[in-house]
């Protein structure tokens, strides 16, 4: 018989704190997807205060900064873009792919292109 979602129920339920964290990360992802970057950043910065060492929070904070910086670059708001792209690099320096992309966009912002 085809497997249903019952396989998931074999895992213990998440504790409320962990569930909250993942629910909020999901919200951040949705806000980024709908280009509501300012709200996404506010939510993820609040999450980071609550979970300063959580790698998934750090990851999504850096992505939110990167997407905001990229959007500002498209709008030719170079100085603002530069701020968010630098925050990307500072937030998750171990994410090599994201840092490579952010560095590339940062160079574009600095050249005003």
- Residue 11 DSSP one-character state: S
What is the model's pLDDT at position 10? 63
| 4 three-class SS | coil
Fold of 17-111: 1.25.40
User: Would you call 104 exposed, middle or buried from its count of C-beta atoms within 10 A (0-12, 13-18, 19+)?
Assistant: exposed
Instruction: Look up the pTM and report it.
Output: 0.86
CA 17 to chain centre: 20
Q: Provide, rounded to the nearest whole percent, the portion of the chain with pLDDT above 90.
A: 84
Q: Please, which residues have CB within 8 angstroms of residue 72's CB and are 6 or more apart in sequence?
A: 78, 80, 81, 84
pLDDT digits (tens, 9 = 90+) for 4-26: 444 455 677 789 989 999 999 99
| 94 three-class SS | coil
pLDDT digits (tens, 9 = 90+) for 25-58: 999 999 999 999 999 999 999 999 999 999 999 9
């Amino acid at each position: 018989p085809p497997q249903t979602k019952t396989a998931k129920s074999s895992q213990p339920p998440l504790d409320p704190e962990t569930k909250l964290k993942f629910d909020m990360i999901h919200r951040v992802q949705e806000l980024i997807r709908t280009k509501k970057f300012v709200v996404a950043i506010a939510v993820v910065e609040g999450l980071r205060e609550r979970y300063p060492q959580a790698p998934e929070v750090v990851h999504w904070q850096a992505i939110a900064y990167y997407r905001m910086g990229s959007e500002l670059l498209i709008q030719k708001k170079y100085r603002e873009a530069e701020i968010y792209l630098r925050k990307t690099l500072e937030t998750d320096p171990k994410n090599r792919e994201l840092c490579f992309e952010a560095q590339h966009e940062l160079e574009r912002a600095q050249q005003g292109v």
